[in-house]
A and B are shown apart, each in its own frame.
Chain A
Amino acid sequence: MNHAIELSRVTVRLAGRTLIDRIDLRAEAGRLTAVIGPNGSGKSTLLKAICGDLQSEGAIAINGHDLRRLKPWQAAGLRAVLPQATVLSFPFTVREVVALGASAGRPGPEARDLEWLPERALAEVDLDGFAGRMYGELSGGEQQRVQLARTLCQVWSPVLDGVPRYLLLDEPVSSLDIRHQLLIMAVARRFADAGGGVIAVLHDLNLTAMFADRVLVLGGGRAAAFGTPREVLSDGTIAQVFSCDLRVGQVPPAPMPFVLPQSARL
């Protein structure tokens, strides 16, 4: 079995402009694959193409199945998507929002455990005790974590019947404080460690270095680099892609690169 999300020469054109250009990517199950790049480099566009939100050329396969030929409910059993922001049109409670994920796709656990799945998912994202609150009254960061809990519910078991499932996260930590950034990245990390696959669009290079197994660097809609964080997060690549002269450092114990904004020369 081919346990990965695979892209081959994926191109997205919108109104005559090429937003992403012939992207190849292999995001394996068991790995956290980060997509980084400056604003407008096509990160979210790439993720939307993988979700099927945008028409694209080239091949996209999930576990070897052509994504475009999967029925929506089949795809929903294989991957869950966290959008950047979600506005609700009706006053749902936090628990009801999360339960929407549990009632879609195939969460995995037995029906008996399913009843408490929303509560468990909320605990995962550090929202214990928020179940009874109204979604609309939460802060942006809290709403984002509620949506992550909903997304987790949809593919609660990272591997179901021997088939790995995937989380597609569009800037999952963009409006979170530092504690919750680390916490949410750890949730994604655990999902990958349990055999599922994660593709996350990230802005924070240090979180990328800390949590990602593979990194795709996009620049101007093209793949500028792909590899492990150590291979990709180099002075040259980062400076070139982000048009910003940065120094990549190394944290002493485990050789892990970091990028200090203080090192910038604009």
Chain B
Amino acid sequence: MLQRAGDIDLVVERAGDRRGLARQVILLLALLLVAASAASLTTGASGASVWRVLTGLGRPLDAEDVTLVRDFTVVLDIRLPRLFLGILIGGGLAISGVVMQGLFRNPLADPGLVGVSSGAGLGAVGVIVLGTTVLAPLTGFLGIYALQISAFAGGLLTTLVLYRVATSHGRTAVATMLLAGIAIAALAGAVTGVLVYLADDAQLRDLTYWGLGSLSGANWTKVFASGPIIGIAIAASLFLARGLNALTLGEATANHLGVPVQRFKNAAIVIVAAATGAAVAVSGGIGFVGIVVPHLLRLVIGPDHRFLLPASALLGASFLLGADALARVIVAPAELPIGIITAAVGGPFFLWVLLRRRGQILE
């Protein structure tokens, strides 16, 4: 449509203003996620055809057509829930990283690195092992959410302990934070070890399956159990953007800029624990998403959380779908635990970050 000259807003690129760029990047990342979703839905060991499922949706299913029935099952009951979980977990882990980094004012903070995932894992293992005996009343009450909520509680507890240990007078000592994270992870690991020792054979199989970090157990129950928690955490994190921006100037200045700092930090900690806990409950330990994704994006669009948070959620989702596709393809028809892929990418990336910022990171 033609516009009169006066109606056209002049778009002037101002020096130091990366908002326009950030919007374009977010648009691209949204397209990338659509592409990654399509790829994830159409590829797999079975060779089921999404097209046949789509065209068959309107018609009554012919029970005689065995391959069509199989395609329906594969696409709707295996690949689709897996796609949803991949998007939610990838997005949830990425925004957990962003929020935690903003909260601790350090680009190295990540729920996986500082022991929050270990705490969440302890909560999950506790329910798996003790859910039928000691914790039976609790798991009965919580139903399908038992795993998610206990992982959330474990994550919340570790985050609170970590914050209490590493932060005094509004300043977080990064070395203390990382070392406290190691101690917390070790402690959680020890208790987890005791629980594993107590587990029976069936529970051990569950634990192993869960602990490898994989989306392969995806089903609709898991989507309904974790999806709302992670979805709400991602949506809520977007409201933290302004406060996280202010917090980069320090806690006192954030307060001067109108942020109720203590309440804000509490909200941020709950959101991190919820997203991490729900993700860990479903997929076990998938590491490095929360470090790699935000760091790459900061290099491109800068650290403005109004854009960094949605961009990270989108890229985190695509990243996890990509890693999942790779995990399914490399050793097909078997599959690798996805945690192996993210660690193989994330480990070297983390070292690269350290090398680039050597000397200034522990300030």
Contacts and interface: CB of A to CB of B under 8 A. Distances in A.
Contacts of B302: 91-93, 96
Contact of B246 (A80, A100, A133): A100
A89 B260 contact: no
B101 to A, nearest CB: 8
B255 interface: yes
Nearest to A119: B14
Nearest to B260: A72
Interface stretch (B15-23, B188-196, B210-218, B232-240): B15-23
Contacts of B199: none
Given A73-B259, A93-B302, A100-B257, 19 more contacts: A48-B252, A51-B252, A51-B255, A72-B255, A77-B258, A83-B253, A86-B250, A90-B107, A90-B303, A92-B302, A93-B15, A93-B18, A95-B15, A95-B17, A96-B17, A105-B258, A119-B14, A131-B15, A154-B257
B193 to A, nearest CB: 36
A104 B245 CA distance: 11
26 contacts: A48-B252, A53-B255, A72-B261, A76-B256, A76-B258, A77-B258, A83-B250, A83-B252, A86-B249, A86-B253, A88-B249, A89-B106, A89-B248, A91-B298, A91-B302, A92-B303, A92-B304, A95-B17, A96-B16, A96-B18, A103-B245, A105-B257, A131-B15, A132-B15, A132-B16, A154-B257
Nearest to B242: A103
SS of B interface (majority): loop
A254 interface: no
Contacts of A119: 14
B105 interface: yes
Interface centre among A90, A103, A131 (most CB of B within 10 A): A90
B302 to A, nearest CB: 6
Nearest to A151: B256
B308 to A, nearest CB: 9
A80 B106 CA distance: 25
A257 B191 CA distance: 72
A75 interface: yes
A30 B246 CA distance: 29
Interface in A78-108: 79-81, 83, 86-97, 100-101, 103-105
Interface of A: 48, 51-53, 71-77, 79-81, 83, 86-97, 100-101, 103-105, 119, 129, 131-133, 154
B253 A80 contact: no
Nearest to A79: B256
Interface string B293-304: 000001000111
Contacts of B14: 95, 119, 131
Contact of B245 (A53, A95, A100, A131): A100
B356 to A, nearest CB: 12
Interface residues of B, number: 27
Contacts of B246: 100, 104
Contacts of B255: 51-53, 72
Contacts of B242: 103
Nearest to A129: B15
A97 B106 CA distance: 17
Contacts of B249: 86, 88, 97, 100
Contacts of B257: 76, 100-101, 104-105, 154
Contacts of A71: 260
Interface string B168-204: 0000000000000000000000000000000000000
Contacts of A133: 16
A93 B259 CA distance: 22
B16 A95 contact: yes
Contacts of A74: 258
B251 to A, nearest CB: 9
A100 B17 CA distance: 12
Nearest to A52: B255
A105 B254 CA distance: 11
Contacts of A129: 15
A163 B250 CA distance: 28
For the complex of A and B, the 7 pairs showing the least CB-CB separation, nearest first, are A76-B258, A132-B15, A95-B16, A90-B303, A93-B16, A89-B105, A73-B258
A98 B257 CA distance: 12
Nearest to A83: B253
Looking at A81, A89, A129, A154, the one whose CB has the most chain B CB atoms below 10 A away is A89
A89 B107 CA distance: 8
A43 to B, nearest CB: 16
A77 B203 CA distance: 57
Contacts of A83: 250, 252-253
Contact of B250 (A79, A87, A96): A87
Nearest to B15: A132
A52 to B, nearest CB: 7
Contacts of B259: 72-73
Nearest to A115: B14
Contacts of A103: 242, 245
Nearest to A132: B15
Interface in B5-20: 14-18
Nearest to B13: A132
A127 B261 CA distance: 30
Contacts of A95: 14-17
A169 to B, nearest CB: 12
